[in-house]
Amino acid sequence: MNSQIKRLVQLLEETHGLSDEQFALLLTAEDDQLSACLSERARAVREKYYGRSVYIRGLIEFTNYCKNDCFYCGIRKSQPSVSRYRLTEEQILQCCAVGYRLGFRTFVLQGGEDPYWNDDRLCGLVAAVKTGHPDCAVTLSVGERSRESYQKLFDAGADRYLLRHETADPAHYRSLHPEEMDAANRLRCLNALKEIGYQTGCGFMVGSPGQTIGHIVKDLQFIRQFRPQMVGIGPFIPAAGTPFESQPKGSSELTIKLLSMIRLMLPSVLLPATTALGTAEKDGRERGIQAGANVIMPNLSPADVRQKYQLYNDKLSTGEEAAESVAKLRSSMEKIGYNVVTDRGDYLTE
Ligand code: 5AD
């Protein structure tokens, strides 16, 4: 490997950051050995902090109603063909009970921005999950809300919050979203979440339409400065019926390289090998784990609603029951030398 590139990997590992130019060099270098080298270093760092444990989060997609119209998203408001559903609190608690028996100790309640789930209803739900499973963490992923709302949900017992920043470049953000959404509001939300005390996750799609290397550099610098406890990244995958349906999909190779770079920047970050990566490549989750990721988020939603939560084409969703998919996951992780653990898997403070 070119010695300049090699030094940059070392510098990233030692100082947890690089200049814009240096990041751009690493992202564009056409060096076969670079990804292998990044992945090896990222693996070493993740093992130092988390050993070979893989944390699982039970993902419950509890509503696909959404008031937003993001150009990339398969459940955007103006998708004509989506059959909308909303799980009841009872159904959601049932998913948690099944998940608990399978070893899940974190439940991720994810949904579109659905006005039905106002603060009272959502706080009631969070409190009910925590009462039923006091030893579990609850992660929310329900988009932009007011600071007061985030505070109420935190007080009701929510521990973590996922809100991808989507892109750190305001003009690029505009090009992915309708008029009424803007990057400044997204940042306001992320800052509020962190200040309130949530373990907070940001993230972006790799290869979203119009994304340049310069934008990814900005994303990395944003992540470095924001210091999230979690980072979610996955390749962009076009969704039929959206304005971006004919756009090319994002690169899995670049996604995997970025997972390694993010592990080196934030050694103790909780980093999922995402469903999008698992959808784009049949061994995507395994490759993500081998490149420094340490979290997997299997779907705990009832089998009959899963195909209705199609954020993008062919989103990974088997008809199999949660139990079956967890058993498969355990064995596929064992094959590559990792162990799925029954653990809340909280962020380690360095
Ligand atoms: N391809 C990949 N990821 C997508 N998301 C939404 N639509 C797509 C798509 N077409 C991601 C967004 C969002 C998260 C829930 O899913 O980054 O924040």
* Whether residue 277 has its Cβ less than 6 Å from ligand 1: no
57-111 confidence digits (pLDDT tens) = 999 999 999 999 999 999 999 998 899 999 999 999 999 999 999 999 999 999 9
Residue 126: predicted pLDDT: 98
Upper half-sphere CA count for residue 338 (Cβ side, 13 Å):
29
Distance, C-alpha 20 to centroid of its chain: 24
The answer, yes or no, to whether residue 299 has pLDDT greater than 90, is: yes
Residue 333 pLDDT exceeds 70 = yes
CA distances from 205 to 33, 148, 197, 198, 336 (A): 24, 28, 25, 22, 26
Kindly state the average pLDDT of the residues 19-29.
Answer: 97
The minimum-distance atom of ligand 1 relative to the CA of 313 is 10
Q: How many whole angstroms from 8 Cα to the centroid of ligand 1? A: 30
Average pLDDT for 143-155 = 98
pLDDT of the residue at 309 = 92
Cβ of 82 less than 6 Å from ligand 1: no
Ligand 1: atom nearest CA of 238 is: 10
Cβ of 55 less than 6 Å from ligand 1 = no
pLDDT surpassing 70 at residue 288 = yes
Provide Rg for the chain, Cα atoms: 19
Positive or negative, the CA dihedral 32, 237, 185, 295 is negative
236 Cβ closer than 6 Å to some ligand 1 atom: yes
**Dihedral angle of Cα 150, 152, 156, 161, to the nearest 10 degrees:** 0
Could you tell me which of 121, 277, 18, 128 has the C-alpha nearest to residue 27? 18
Q: What's the pLDDT score for residue 125?
A: 98
Q: Is the CB of 237 under 6 A from ligand 1?
A: yes
pLDDT at 304: 87
For the Cβ of 72 lying below 6 angstroms from any atom of ligand 1, the answer is yes
Tokens at residue 291, please? 């490149």
Atom 7 (ligand 1) nearest CA? 73
- Residue 318, pLDDT score: 66
Render pLDDT for 234-287 as a digit per residue (tens, 0 to 9): 999 999 999 999 999 999 999 999 999 999 999 999 999 999 999 999 999 999
What is this structure's pTM? Answer: 0.97
How remote is the CA of residue 73 from the centroid of ligand 1, in Å?
Answer: 6
Instruction: Flag whether pLDDT at 324 surpasses 90.
Output: no
Ligand 1 centroid vs 6 CA: distance in angstroms? 33
Closest residue by Cα to atom 18, ligand 1, is: 164
Q: What angle separates helix 252-265 from helix 3-15, to the nearest 10 degrees?
A: 50
**Interval 185-211: pLDDT, tens:** 999 999 999 999 999 999 999 999 999
Ligand 1 pocket member 311 (CB < 6 A):
yes
Task: Using CA atoms of 28, 204, 348, 96 in order, give the dihedral in degrees to the nearest 10.
Answer: -140
Confidence at residue 323, expressed as pLDDT on a 0 to 100 scale = 75
**% of the chain exceeding 90 in pLDDT:** 91
Residue 300: per-residue pLDDT: 93
Average pLDDT value for the chain: 96
Query: Does the pLDDT at position 177 exceed 80?
Result: yes
